[in-house]
Structure 1
Amino acid sequence: MNTLSVRDLRVRVGDGRAAMTAVDGVTLDLPAGGALGLVGESGSGKSTCARAIVGLTPAAGGQVLLDGRDYAGARGRRLRELRRRVQLVFQDPRASLNPRMTVGEAIGEAAAAGRRLSRQARAAEVARLLEQVALDPAHAQVRPGALSGGQRQRVALARALATRPDVIVADEVTAALDVSVQGSVLNLLRRLRAETGLGLLVISHDLAVVRYLCTEIAVMHLGRIVERAPTPTLLAAPQHPYTRALIEAAALAGLDGEQVAEGEPPDPLHPPSGCRYRTICPVGPLADESRRICVTLDPAVGADGRRHRAACHFVPPETVV
Protein backbone atom coordinates (compact mmCIF):
# COMPACT_ATOMS: atom_id res chain seq x y z
CA MET A 1 0.00 0.00 0.00
CA ASN A 2 1.24 3.50 -0.74
CA THR A 3 2.56 5.45 2.22
CA LEU A 4 1.37 8.74 0.74
CA SER A 5 -1.20 9.38 -1.96
CA VAL A 6 -2.46 12.78 -3.07
CA ARG A 7 -5.67 12.87 -5.06
CA ASP A 8 -6.97 15.89 -7.00
CA LEU A 9 -5.44 18.31 -4.47
CA ARG A 10 -6.49 21.94 -4.91
CA VAL A 11 -5.28 25.00 -3.02
CA ARG A 12 -6.56 28.56 -3.31
CA VAL A 13 -4.43 31.49 -2.18
CA GLY A 14 -5.16 35.20 -1.93
CA ASP A 15 -8.45 37.07 -1.59
CA GLY A 16 -10.87 38.77 -3.92
CA ARG A 17 -9.57 39.60 -7.37
CA ALA A 18 -6.07 38.54 -6.33
CA ALA A 19 -7.24 35.01 -5.46
CA MET A 20 -5.81 32.21 -7.57
CA THR A 21 -5.68 28.44 -7.66
CA ALA A 22 -2.05 27.72 -6.84
CA VAL A 23 -2.46 23.94 -6.85
CA ASP A 24 -5.01 22.65 -9.34
CA GLY A 25 -5.93 18.97 -9.27
CA VAL A 26 -2.55 17.50 -8.32
CA THR A 27 -2.40 13.71 -8.02
CA LEU A 28 0.76 12.01 -6.73
CA ASP A 29 1.72 8.62 -5.33
CA LEU A 30 4.75 8.04 -3.12
CA PRO A 31 5.25 4.31 -2.40
CA ALA A 32 6.54 3.23 0.98
CA GLY A 33 10.27 3.97 1.06
CA GLY A 34 10.16 5.64 -2.36
CA ALA A 35 11.74 8.91 -3.46
CA LEU A 36 9.73 11.27 -5.67
CA GLY A 37 10.94 14.62 -6.97
CA LEU A 38 8.50 17.46 -7.65
CA VAL A 39 10.12 20.03 -9.93
CA GLY A 40 9.16 23.26 -11.62
CA GLU A 41 9.94 26.96 -11.82
CA SER A 42 9.45 29.37 -8.95
CA GLY A 43 5.73 30.04 -8.77
CA SER A 44 4.74 26.66 -10.22
CA GLY A 45 2.97 25.75 -6.96
CA LYS A 46 5.28 22.99 -5.76
CA SER A 47 6.02 24.47 -2.31
CA THR A 48 2.35 25.34 -1.79
CA CYS A 49 1.55 21.74 -2.64
CA ALA A 50 4.07 20.56 -0.02
CA ARG A 51 2.60 22.81 2.66
CA ALA A 52 -0.91 21.58 1.87
CA ILE A 53 0.21 17.95 2.13
CA VAL A 54 1.45 18.49 5.71
CA GLY A 55 -1.54 20.63 6.69
CA LEU A 56 0.24 24.00 6.94
CA THR A 57 -1.86 25.44 4.09
CA PRO A 58 -5.57 24.60 3.88
CA ALA A 59 -6.69 22.58 0.89
CA ALA A 60 -9.70 23.73 -1.09
CA GLY A 61 -10.39 20.18 -2.22
CA GLY A 62 -8.95 16.75 -2.82
CA GLN A 63 -7.43 14.12 -0.55
CA VAL A 64 -4.16 13.51 1.29
CA LEU A 65 -4.11 9.79 2.04
CA LEU A 66 -1.77 7.93 4.38
CA ASP A 67 -2.28 4.18 4.04
CA GLY A 68 -5.77 4.93 2.74
CA ARG A 69 -6.84 7.35 5.49
CA ASP A 70 -7.68 10.88 4.36
CA TYR A 71 -6.00 13.71 6.30
CA ALA A 72 -7.00 16.62 4.06
CA GLY A 73 -8.53 19.32 6.25
CA ALA A 74 -7.47 17.47 9.40
CA ARG A 75 -7.63 19.29 12.73
CA GLY A 76 -6.79 18.58 16.33
CA ARG A 77 -5.52 15.07 17.01
CA ARG A 78 -5.68 14.00 13.35
CA LEU A 79 -3.62 17.03 12.28
CA ARG A 80 -1.02 16.22 14.94
CA GLU A 81 -0.92 12.65 13.69
CA LEU A 82 -0.44 13.85 10.12
CA ARG A 83 2.44 16.14 11.11
CA ARG A 84 4.07 13.37 13.08
CA ARG A 85 3.92 10.96 10.15
CA VAL A 86 4.80 13.49 7.41
CA GLN A 87 7.53 15.96 8.36
CA LEU A 88 8.36 19.06 6.32
CA VAL A 89 11.96 20.29 6.24
CA PHE A 90 12.17 23.90 5.06
CA GLN A 91 14.63 25.61 2.75
CA ASP A 92 15.87 27.83 5.57
CA PRO A 93 16.10 25.97 8.92
CA ARG A 94 15.83 29.29 10.74
CA ALA A 95 12.13 29.16 9.81
CA SER A 96 11.61 26.04 11.89
CA LEU A 97 14.20 26.30 14.69
CA ASN A 98 13.48 28.51 17.69
CA PRO A 99 16.56 30.70 18.21
CA ARG A 100 15.90 30.82 21.96
CA MET A 101 16.02 27.03 22.35
CA THR A 102 19.17 24.97 22.39
CA VAL A 103 19.56 22.29 19.75
CA GLY A 104 18.90 19.66 22.40
CA GLU A 105 15.71 21.36 23.56
CA ALA A 106 14.40 21.68 20.00
CA ILE A 107 15.05 18.05 19.11
CA GLY A 108 13.96 16.79 22.53
CA GLU A 109 10.64 18.62 22.27
CA ALA A 110 9.90 16.84 18.99
CA ALA A 111 11.10 13.48 20.33
CA ALA A 112 8.78 13.71 23.33
CA ALA A 113 5.69 14.60 21.30
CA GLY A 114 3.16 11.85 21.92
CA ARG A 115 5.62 9.91 24.11
CA ARG A 116 6.57 9.98 27.75
CA LEU A 117 10.33 10.21 28.05
CA SER A 118 12.36 10.70 31.19
CA ARG A 119 15.01 13.42 31.16
CA GLN A 120 17.70 10.79 30.74
CA ALA A 121 15.85 9.02 27.92
CA ARG A 122 15.23 12.33 26.14
CA ALA A 123 18.92 13.26 26.34
CA ALA A 124 19.88 9.83 24.97
CA GLU A 125 17.42 10.20 22.11
CA VAL A 126 18.76 13.66 21.26
CA ALA A 127 22.31 12.29 21.18
CA ARG A 128 21.25 9.40 18.96
CA LEU A 129 19.50 11.70 16.49
CA LEU A 130 22.45 14.10 16.31
CA GLU A 131 24.77 11.20 15.57
CA GLN A 132 22.31 9.96 12.92
CA VAL A 133 22.70 13.25 11.03
CA ALA A 134 26.50 13.24 11.53
CA LEU A 135 26.68 15.90 14.25
CA ASP A 136 28.55 15.70 17.53
CA PRO A 137 26.09 15.18 20.45
CA ALA A 138 27.85 18.12 22.15
CA HIS A 139 25.91 20.37 19.74
CA ALA A 140 22.86 19.73 21.92
CA GLN A 141 24.10 22.46 24.26
CA VAL A 142 24.31 25.27 21.68
CA ARG A 143 21.68 27.45 20.03
CA PRO A 144 21.03 27.42 16.26
CA GLY A 145 22.59 30.86 15.78
CA ALA A 146 26.00 29.47 16.72
CA LEU A 147 25.91 26.88 13.93
CA SER A 148 26.70 27.08 10.23
CA GLY A 149 23.93 26.82 7.64
CA GLY A 150 24.76 23.20 6.89
CA GLN A 151 24.77 22.30 10.60
CA ARG A 152 21.41 24.02 11.11
CA GLN A 153 19.94 22.03 8.24
CA ARG A 154 21.22 18.82 9.84
CA VAL A 155 19.57 19.85 13.11
CA ALA A 156 16.32 20.48 11.23
CA LEU A 157 16.58 16.97 9.77
CA ALA A 158 17.26 15.49 13.22
CA ARG A 159 14.20 17.28 14.57
CA ALA A 160 12.11 15.91 11.70
CA LEU A 161 13.39 12.39 12.35
CA ALA A 162 12.56 12.72 16.06
CA THR A 163 8.86 12.04 15.42
CA ARG A 164 9.72 8.79 13.60
CA PRO A 165 7.89 9.86 10.42
CA ASP A 166 6.86 7.74 7.45
CA VAL A 167 7.67 10.53 4.97
CA ILE A 168 9.97 13.54 4.89
CA VAL A 169 9.04 16.38 2.54
CA ALA A 170 12.27 18.21 1.71
CA ASP A 171 11.43 21.65 0.34
CA GLU A 172 14.48 23.13 -1.43
CA VAL A 173 16.65 21.94 1.47
CA THR A 174 19.96 22.84 -0.19
CA ALA A 175 18.96 26.09 -1.90
CA ALA A 176 20.06 28.29 1.02
CA LEU A 177 23.37 26.46 1.55
CA ASP A 178 26.82 27.15 0.20
CA VAL A 179 27.76 24.94 -2.72
CA SER A 180 30.53 23.42 -0.61
CA VAL A 181 28.03 21.90 1.85
CA GLN A 182 25.12 21.09 -0.46
CA GLY A 183 26.61 17.73 -1.43
CA SER A 184 27.03 16.61 2.17
CA VAL A 185 23.37 17.32 2.94
CA LEU A 186 22.24 15.44 -0.17
CA ASN A 187 24.43 12.49 0.79
CA LEU A 188 22.88 12.57 4.25
CA LEU A 189 19.34 12.47 2.86
CA ARG A 190 20.25 9.59 0.59
CA ARG A 191 21.80 7.65 3.46
CA LEU A 192 18.88 8.30 5.81
CA ARG A 193 16.43 6.97 3.26
CA ALA A 194 18.52 3.83 2.77
CA GLU A 195 18.93 3.24 6.51
CA THR A 196 15.41 4.03 7.73
CA GLY A 197 13.12 3.20 4.79
CA LEU A 198 11.67 6.72 4.83
CA GLY A 199 9.59 7.94 1.97
CA LEU A 200 11.11 11.09 0.50
CA LEU A 201 9.25 13.83 -1.40
CA VAL A 202 11.82 16.28 -2.75
CA ILE A 203 10.60 19.74 -3.80
CA SER A 204 13.14 21.51 -5.98
CA HIS A 205 13.77 23.62 -9.05
CA ASP A 206 17.21 22.00 -9.31
CA LEU A 207 17.20 18.95 -11.57
CA ALA A 208 20.60 17.87 -10.29
CA VAL A 209 19.13 17.47 -6.79
CA VAL A 210 16.20 15.32 -7.84
CA ARG A 211 18.34 13.32 -10.25
CA TYR A 212 20.63 12.39 -7.36
CA LEU A 213 17.95 11.66 -4.75
CA CYS A 214 14.84 10.48 -6.56
CA THR A 215 13.78 7.42 -8.50
CA GLU A 216 10.84 9.25 -10.10
CA ILE A 217 10.12 12.84 -11.10
CA ALA A 218 6.86 14.76 -11.45
CA VAL A 219 7.00 18.07 -13.32
CA MET A 220 4.71 20.90 -12.20
CA HIS A 221 3.68 23.94 -14.23
CA LEU A 222 1.19 26.60 -13.17
CA GLY A 223 -0.34 24.45 -10.47
CA ARG A 224 -0.63 21.22 -12.46
CA ILE A 225 1.41 18.08 -13.01
CA VAL A 226 2.34 18.00 -16.71
CA GLU A 227 4.60 14.92 -16.81
CA ARG A 228 5.75 12.08 -14.57
CA ALA A 229 8.17 9.21 -15.18
CA PRO A 230 11.13 7.33 -13.68
CA THR A 231 14.08 9.69 -13.31
CA PRO A 232 16.42 8.25 -15.98
CA THR A 233 13.59 7.92 -18.49
CA LEU A 234 12.26 11.43 -17.97
CA LEU A 235 15.67 13.09 -18.16
CA ALA A 236 16.72 11.09 -21.22
CA ALA A 237 13.47 11.40 -23.16
CA PRO A 238 11.21 14.19 -21.83
CA GLN A 239 7.83 14.25 -23.55
CA HIS A 240 6.23 17.54 -22.50
CA PRO A 241 7.71 20.69 -24.09
CA TYR A 242 7.86 22.36 -20.67
CA THR A 243 9.98 19.51 -19.30
CA ARG A 244 12.29 19.80 -22.29
CA ALA A 245 12.62 23.53 -21.62
CA LEU A 246 13.49 22.84 -17.99
CA ILE A 247 16.19 20.35 -18.95
CA GLU A 248 17.63 22.62 -21.65
CA ALA A 249 17.71 25.56 -19.23
CA ALA A 250 19.38 23.37 -16.60
CA ALA A 251 22.08 22.39 -19.07
CA LEU A 252 22.73 26.04 -19.90
CA ALA A 253 22.79 27.06 -16.22
CA GLY A 254 24.84 24.20 -14.85
CA LEU A 255 21.83 22.00 -14.02
CA ASP A 256 19.93 24.66 -12.13
CA GLY A 257 16.67 25.00 -14.01
CA GLU A 258 15.27 28.23 -12.65
CA GLN A 259 15.00 30.16 -15.94
CA VAL A 260 12.91 28.31 -18.49
CA ALA A 261 11.43 30.16 -21.43
CA GLU A 262 11.81 33.49 -23.14
CA GLY A 263 8.81 35.72 -23.63
CA GLU A 264 5.89 36.58 -21.40
CA PRO A 265 4.72 33.61 -19.29
CA PRO A 266 0.98 32.97 -18.79
CA ASP A 267 -0.79 34.94 -16.06
CA PRO A 268 -1.45 32.61 -13.10
CA LEU A 269 -4.44 34.76 -12.07
CA HIS A 270 -6.00 34.30 -15.50
CA PRO A 271 -4.52 31.12 -17.00
CA PRO A 272 -5.12 30.51 -20.70
CA SER A 273 -7.91 28.27 -21.90
CA GLY A 274 -7.00 24.77 -22.99
CA CYS A 275 -3.27 24.20 -22.44
CA ARG A 276 -1.75 26.58 -19.90
CA TYR A 277 1.64 26.37 -21.57
CA ARG A 278 0.43 27.22 -25.08
CA THR A 279 1.30 30.94 -24.92
CA ILE A 280 5.04 30.14 -24.92
CA CYS A 281 4.99 26.55 -26.18
CA PRO A 282 7.32 25.82 -29.13
CA VAL A 283 5.07 23.06 -30.53
CA GLY A 284 1.62 24.62 -30.00
CA PRO A 285 -0.34 27.29 -31.87
CA LEU A 286 2.62 29.67 -31.87
CA ALA A 287 4.47 27.21 -34.09
CA ASP A 288 1.48 25.84 -36.03
CA GLU A 289 -1.76 27.83 -36.20
CA SER A 290 -3.72 24.68 -37.08
CA ARG A 291 -3.16 23.30 -33.61
CA ARG A 292 -6.28 24.94 -32.21
CA ILE A 293 -6.91 21.96 -29.95
CA CYS A 294 -4.39 23.54 -27.55
CA VAL A 295 -6.73 26.52 -27.20
CA THR A 296 -9.98 24.62 -26.77
CA LEU A 297 -9.18 21.38 -24.93
CA ASP A 298 -7.33 20.84 -21.64
CA PRO A 299 -4.46 18.41 -22.40
CA ALA A 300 -4.97 16.76 -19.00
CA VAL A 301 -7.81 14.95 -20.79
CA GLY A 302 -6.30 11.70 -22.00
CA ALA A 303 -2.94 12.23 -20.26
CA ASP A 304 -3.03 8.82 -18.56
CA GLY A 305 -2.84 7.15 -21.96
CA ARG A 306 0.22 9.06 -23.18
CA ARG A 307 3.92 8.53 -22.63
CA HIS A 308 4.90 9.74 -19.15
CA ARG A 309 1.24 10.71 -18.60
CA ALA A 310 2.15 13.98 -20.29
CA ALA A 311 -0.41 16.79 -20.44
CA CYS A 312 0.28 17.56 -24.10
CA HIS A 313 -1.96 16.75 -27.07
CA PHE A 314 1.04 15.93 -29.27
CA VAL A 315 2.71 13.29 -27.08
CA PRO A 316 2.32 9.77 -28.53
CA PRO A 317 0.26 7.13 -26.74
CA GLU A 318 2.10 5.03 -24.14
CA THR A 319 1.81 1.92 -26.33
CA VAL A 320 3.79 3.50 -29.17
CA VAL A 321 7.50 2.58 -29.11
Structure 2
Amino acid sequence: MSGPYDRLDRLAQIIVALVAIFALANGIFMLVAPVDWYYAVPTVPATGPANTHFIADIGIAYLSSGAMLLYAAGNIKMRWMAALAGTLWLLLHGFLHIYEVLTGICSPDRFWQDVPGVLGPPLLVLAAIFLLMARQRIAPAGIPRAAFLRAATAKMEESEQQYLREIAAAPGGAFEKFAHFMPASMHRHSAPVNLFHAARFGATLAEDCGPCAMTAAQWALADKLPRDTINAALAGGAHLGDDENLAFRFGEAIATQSAEAFELGDKIEARYGRTVRLELAMTSALVRSYPAMKRGLGLTRACSAMKLAV
Protein backbone atom coordinates (compact mmCIF):
# COMPACT_ATOMS: atom_id res chain seq x y z
CA MET A 1 0.00 0.00 0.00
CA SER A 2 2.98 2.30 -0.42
CA GLY A 3 2.82 5.30 -2.70
CA PRO A 4 0.56 8.30 -3.12
CA TYR A 5 -3.14 8.02 -3.89
CA ASP A 6 -3.87 6.92 -7.45
CA ARG A 7 -7.09 7.48 -9.40
CA LEU A 8 -8.93 4.50 -7.97
CA ASP A 9 -7.84 5.42 -4.44
CA ARG A 10 -9.22 8.91 -5.04
CA LEU A 11 -12.43 7.44 -6.41
CA ALA A 12 -12.92 5.43 -3.22
CA GLN A 13 -12.11 8.50 -1.15
CA ILE A 14 -14.61 10.66 -3.06
CA ILE A 15 -17.35 8.04 -2.75
CA VAL A 16 -16.93 7.87 1.03
CA ALA A 17 -16.78 11.67 1.29
CA LEU A 18 -19.99 12.09 -0.73
CA VAL A 19 -21.83 9.57 1.44
CA ALA A 20 -20.52 11.41 4.51
CA ILE A 21 -21.88 14.71 3.20
CA PHE A 22 -25.23 13.08 2.43
CA ALA A 23 -25.48 11.61 5.94
CA LEU A 24 -24.46 14.88 7.60
CA ALA A 25 -26.86 16.95 5.50
CA ASN A 26 -29.74 14.56 6.17
CA GLY A 27 -28.96 14.51 9.89
CA ILE A 28 -28.85 18.29 10.12
CA PHE A 29 -32.13 18.57 8.21
CA MET A 30 -33.79 16.10 10.60
CA LEU A 31 -32.55 17.96 13.67
CA VAL A 32 -33.18 21.52 12.51
CA ALA A 33 -36.52 21.04 10.76
CA PRO A 34 -37.97 17.62 11.64
CA VAL A 35 -41.49 18.39 10.39
CA ASP A 36 -40.20 19.77 7.10
CA TRP A 37 -38.03 16.68 6.69
CA TYR A 38 -41.06 14.47 7.44
CA TYR A 39 -43.01 15.94 4.53
CA ALA A 40 -39.98 16.33 2.23
CA VAL A 41 -39.47 12.55 1.97
CA PRO A 42 -42.55 11.23 0.14
CA THR A 43 -42.58 7.76 1.69
CA VAL A 44 -42.22 8.86 5.32
CA PRO A 45 -45.81 10.05 6.02
CA ALA A 46 -47.05 6.56 5.15
CA THR A 47 -45.20 5.22 8.22
CA GLY A 48 -47.40 7.14 10.66
CA PRO A 49 -47.76 10.57 12.29
CA ALA A 50 -44.69 12.78 12.65
CA ASN A 51 -42.78 12.28 15.90
CA THR A 52 -40.27 15.14 16.08
CA HIS A 53 -38.32 13.59 18.95
CA PHE A 54 -37.93 10.30 17.09
CA ILE A 55 -36.94 12.12 13.89
CA ALA A 56 -34.28 14.02 15.85
CA ASP A 57 -32.99 10.75 17.31
CA ILE A 58 -32.51 9.35 13.82
CA GLY A 59 -30.91 12.63 12.78
CA ILE A 60 -28.28 12.15 15.48
CA ALA A 61 -27.59 8.66 14.15
CA TYR A 62 -27.09 10.11 10.66
CA LEU A 63 -24.78 12.79 12.05
CA SER A 64 -22.71 10.18 13.88
CA SER A 65 -22.38 8.06 10.75
CA GLY A 66 -21.56 11.08 8.65
CA ALA A 67 -18.88 12.28 11.06
CA MET A 68 -17.15 8.88 11.08
CA LEU A 69 -17.31 8.64 7.30
CA LEU A 70 -15.93 12.15 6.87
CA TYR A 71 -13.05 11.27 9.18
CA ALA A 72 -12.42 8.08 7.21
CA ALA A 73 -12.48 9.92 3.89
CA GLY A 74 -9.56 12.07 5.04
CA ASN A 75 -7.24 9.07 4.67
CA ILE A 76 -9.35 6.18 3.47
CA LYS A 77 -6.46 3.74 3.01
CA MET A 78 -5.50 4.03 6.68
CA ARG A 79 -8.99 4.67 8.10
CA TRP A 80 -11.04 2.09 6.22
CA MET A 81 -12.19 0.56 9.50
CA ALA A 82 -13.70 3.92 10.47
CA ALA A 83 -15.56 3.86 7.16
CA LEU A 84 -16.97 0.44 8.02
CA ALA A 85 -18.03 1.69 11.44
CA GLY A 86 -19.56 4.79 9.92
CA THR A 87 -21.62 2.84 7.44
CA LEU A 88 -22.81 0.20 9.93
CA TRP A 89 -25.90 2.11 11.03
CA LEU A 90 -26.74 3.06 7.45
CA LEU A 91 -26.47 -0.59 6.43
CA LEU A 92 -28.60 -1.85 9.32
CA HIS A 93 -31.16 0.81 8.47
CA GLY A 94 -31.24 -0.57 4.95
CA PHE A 95 -31.67 -4.12 6.24
CA LEU A 96 -34.66 -2.93 8.27
CA HIS A 97 -36.30 -1.70 5.08
CA ILE A 98 -35.62 -5.06 3.43
CA TYR A 99 -37.18 -6.84 6.41
CA GLU A 100 -40.26 -4.63 6.23
CA VAL A 101 -40.88 -5.32 2.56
CA LEU A 102 -40.29 -9.06 3.01
CA THR A 103 -42.77 -9.23 5.88
CA GLY A 104 -45.37 -7.04 4.20
CA ILE A 105 -45.01 -4.08 6.57
CA CYS A 106 -44.35 -1.80 3.61
CA SER A 107 -45.22 -2.17 -0.05
CA PRO A 108 -42.65 -3.00 -2.74
CA ASP A 109 -43.40 0.32 -4.44
CA ARG A 110 -42.50 2.27 -1.32
CA PHE A 111 -39.42 0.11 -0.79
CA TRP A 112 -38.05 0.82 -4.26
CA GLN A 113 -38.65 4.53 -3.76
CA ASP A 114 -36.53 4.36 -0.61
CA VAL A 115 -33.70 2.24 -2.04
CA PRO A 116 -31.55 5.05 -3.53
CA GLY A 117 -31.43 7.02 -0.28
CA VAL A 118 -31.48 4.13 2.19
CA LEU A 119 -29.50 1.25 0.67
CA GLY A 120 -27.53 3.23 -1.90
CA PRO A 121 -25.18 5.09 0.50
CA PRO A 122 -23.96 2.11 2.58
CA LEU A 123 -23.55 -0.05 -0.52
CA LEU A 124 -21.43 2.67 -2.12
CA VAL A 125 -19.17 2.78 0.93
CA LEU A 126 -18.80 -1.00 0.94
CA ALA A 127 -17.98 -0.92 -2.78
CA ALA A 128 -15.31 1.72 -2.16
CA ILE A 129 -13.71 -0.35 0.61
CA PHE A 130 -13.84 -3.49 -1.53
CA LEU A 131 -12.11 -1.59 -4.34
CA LEU A 132 -9.26 -0.74 -1.98
CA MET A 133 -9.08 -4.25 -0.53
CA ALA A 134 -9.03 -5.94 -3.92
CA ARG A 135 -6.03 -3.82 -4.89
CA GLN A 136 -4.27 -4.30 -1.53
CA ARG A 137 -4.40 -0.58 -0.85
CA ILE A 138 -5.54 -0.67 2.77
CA ALA A 139 -3.58 -0.67 6.01
CA PRO A 140 -3.28 -4.16 7.52
CA ALA A 141 -4.64 -3.11 10.92
CA GLY A 142 -8.18 -4.43 11.14
CA ILE A 143 -7.78 -7.25 8.64
CA PRO A 144 -8.69 -10.57 10.29
CA ARG A 145 -5.54 -12.26 11.51
CA ALA A 146 -5.97 -15.46 9.49
CA ALA A 147 -6.67 -13.57 6.27
CA PHE A 148 -3.66 -11.33 6.80
CA LEU A 149 -1.34 -14.26 7.44
CA ARG A 150 -2.54 -16.10 4.33
CA ALA A 151 -1.96 -13.06 2.12
CA ALA A 152 1.28 -11.94 3.74
CA THR A 153 3.03 -15.31 3.78
CA ALA A 154 2.06 -16.45 0.29
CA LYS A 155 5.46 -15.55 -1.24
CA MET A 156 7.61 -15.43 1.88
CA GLU A 157 10.55 -17.52 2.97
CA GLU A 158 9.84 -19.93 5.83
CA SER A 159 11.66 -17.75 8.38
CA GLU A 160 9.57 -14.79 7.28
CA GLN A 161 6.40 -16.79 7.78
CA GLN A 162 7.52 -18.08 11.15
CA TYR A 163 8.17 -14.70 12.72
CA LEU A 164 4.77 -13.43 11.60
CA ARG A 165 3.08 -16.50 13.05
CA GLU A 166 4.89 -15.98 16.34
CA ILE A 167 3.78 -12.35 16.48
CA ALA A 168 0.22 -13.40 15.67
CA ALA A 169 0.27 -15.95 18.49
CA ALA A 170 1.85 -13.63 21.05
CA PRO A 171 -0.37 -12.40 23.91
CA GLY A 172 -1.21 -8.81 24.75
CA GLY A 173 -2.33 -7.68 21.31
CA ALA A 174 1.16 -7.91 19.78
CA PHE A 175 -0.17 -8.64 16.31
CA GLU A 176 -2.53 -5.67 16.25
CA LYS A 177 0.25 -3.34 17.39
CA PHE A 178 2.56 -4.76 14.73
CA ALA A 179 -0.10 -4.25 12.06
CA HIS A 180 -0.24 -0.57 12.96
CA PHE A 181 3.55 -0.32 12.66
CA MET A 182 3.88 -1.86 9.21
CA PRO A 183 2.44 1.05 7.15
CA ALA A 184 4.96 3.44 8.73
CA SER A 185 7.83 1.37 7.34
CA MET A 186 6.28 1.58 3.86
CA HIS A 187 5.29 5.25 3.88
CA ARG A 188 5.83 6.85 0.48
CA HIS A 189 4.09 9.94 -0.85
CA SER A 190 6.60 12.13 -2.68
CA ALA A 191 9.64 9.89 -3.12
CA PRO A 192 10.14 8.35 -6.58
CA VAL A 193 9.45 4.64 -6.39
CA ASN A 194 12.93 3.65 -7.60
CA LEU A 195 14.70 5.76 -4.96
CA PHE A 196 12.35 4.58 -2.24
CA HIS A 197 13.05 0.92 -2.84
CA ALA A 198 16.75 1.50 -3.46
CA ALA A 199 17.01 2.99 0.04
CA ARG A 200 15.08 0.05 1.48
CA PHE A 201 17.40 -2.41 -0.23
CA GLY A 202 20.46 -0.58 1.06
CA ALA A 203 19.20 -0.69 4.64
CA THR A 204 17.96 -4.29 4.41
CA LEU A 205 21.13 -5.71 2.85
CA ALA A 206 23.22 -3.94 5.49
CA GLU A 207 21.41 -6.09 8.04
CA ASP A 208 22.59 -9.23 6.18
CA CYS A 209 19.17 -10.87 6.15
CA GLY A 210 18.55 -12.79 2.94
CA PRO A 211 14.85 -13.55 3.50
CA CYS A 212 14.25 -9.88 4.38
CA ALA A 213 15.92 -8.81 1.15
CA MET A 214 13.68 -11.13 -0.85
CA THR A 215 10.59 -9.79 0.91
CA ALA A 216 11.77 -6.28 0.04
CA ALA A 217 12.10 -7.47 -3.55
CA GLN A 218 8.49 -8.68 -3.55
CA TRP A 219 7.32 -5.27 -2.33
CA ALA A 220 9.37 -3.63 -5.08
CA LEU A 221 7.80 -5.90 -7.69
CA ALA A 222 4.36 -4.99 -6.36
CA ASP A 223 5.28 -1.33 -6.91
CA LYS A 224 6.20 -2.22 -10.52
CA LEU A 225 9.92 -1.62 -10.14
CA PRO A 226 11.77 -3.27 -13.07
CA ARG A 227 13.34 -6.64 -12.30
CA ASP A 228 16.71 -5.46 -13.61
CA THR A 229 16.70 -2.63 -11.09
CA ILE A 230 15.69 -4.97 -8.28
CA ASN A 231 18.41 -7.47 -9.14
CA ALA A 232 21.00 -4.71 -9.38
CA ALA A 233 20.02 -3.61 -5.89
CA LEU A 234 20.11 -7.18 -4.58
CA ALA A 235 23.60 -7.53 -6.07
CA GLY A 236 24.86 -4.66 -3.92
CA GLY A 237 23.76 -1.55 -5.78
CA ALA A 238 26.96 -0.93 -7.75
CA HIS A 239 25.18 -1.16 -11.11
CA LEU A 240 22.22 1.02 -10.19
CA GLY A 241 21.71 4.42 -11.79
CA ASP A 242 23.39 7.39 -10.12
CA ASP A 243 20.38 8.57 -8.13
CA GLU A 244 19.31 5.03 -7.26
CA ASN A 245 22.84 4.28 -6.06
CA LEU A 246 22.74 7.45 -3.98
CA ALA A 247 19.50 6.32 -2.32
CA PHE A 248 20.89 2.80 -1.85
CA ARG A 249 23.99 4.13 -0.09
CA PHE A 250 21.84 6.48 1.98
CA GLY A 251 19.78 3.54 3.25
CA GLU A 252 22.94 1.55 3.87
CA ALA A 253 24.53 4.43 5.78
CA ILE A 254 21.46 4.79 7.99
CA ALA A 255 21.47 1.06 8.75
CA THR A 256 25.17 1.04 9.60
CA GLN A 257 24.96 4.34 11.50
CA SER A 258 27.60 5.81 9.23
CA ALA A 259 28.41 9.52 9.31
CA GLU A 260 28.15 9.38 5.52
CA ALA A 261 24.36 9.48 5.95
CA PHE A 262 24.56 13.24 6.55
CA GLU A 263 26.34 13.96 3.27
CA LEU A 264 24.22 11.54 1.26
CA GLY A 265 21.05 12.91 2.80
CA ASP A 266 22.08 16.46 1.92
CA LYS A 267 22.59 15.42 -1.71
CA ILE A 268 19.17 13.77 -1.83
CA GLU A 269 17.56 16.83 -0.27
CA ALA A 270 19.29 19.16 -2.75
CA ARG A 271 17.98 17.13 -5.69
CA TYR A 272 14.55 16.05 -4.48
CA GLY A 273 13.62 18.13 -1.44
CA ARG A 274 13.25 17.65 2.27
CA THR A 275 10.13 15.49 2.07
CA VAL A 276 11.81 12.88 -0.12
CA ARG A 277 14.78 12.80 2.24
CA LEU A 278 12.39 12.24 5.14
CA GLU A 279 10.59 9.38 3.39
CA LEU A 280 13.83 7.63 2.45
CA ALA A 281 15.20 8.09 5.96
CA MET A 282 11.96 6.86 7.51
CA THR A 283 11.72 3.66 5.49
CA SER A 284 15.46 2.96 5.84
CA ALA A 285 15.30 3.31 9.61
CA LEU A 286 12.10 1.34 10.12
CA VAL A 287 12.72 -1.50 7.66
CA ARG A 288 15.64 -2.53 9.86
CA SER A 289 13.14 -3.60 12.52
CA TYR A 290 12.19 -6.73 10.58
CA PRO A 291 15.65 -8.33 10.33
CA ALA A 292 16.42 -7.21 13.88
CA MET A 293 13.31 -8.97 15.15
CA LYS A 294 14.05 -12.13 13.20
CA ARG A 295 17.63 -12.11 14.42
CA GLY A 296 16.35 -11.86 17.97
CA LEU A 297 14.10 -14.86 17.34
CA GLY A 298 16.94 -16.85 15.76
CA LEU A 299 15.19 -17.07 12.41
CA THR A 300 17.29 -15.04 9.98
CA ARG A 301 19.73 -16.30 7.37
CA ALA A 302 22.70 -14.37 6.00
CA CYS A 303 22.44 -12.99 2.46
CA SER A 304 25.42 -15.13 1.46
CA ALA A 305 23.45 -18.25 2.38
CA MET A 306 20.84 -17.82 -0.35
CA LYS A 307 20.41 -16.62 -3.90
CA LEU A 308 19.23 -13.02 -4.09
CA ALA A 309 17.44 -12.49 -7.40
CA VAL A 310 13.94 -12.22 -8.80
Q: Give the TM-score taking structure 1 as reference length.
A: 0.31
Q: Give the TM-score taking structure 2 as reference length.
A: 0.32
Greater percentage in helix: 2
Greater percentage in strand: 1
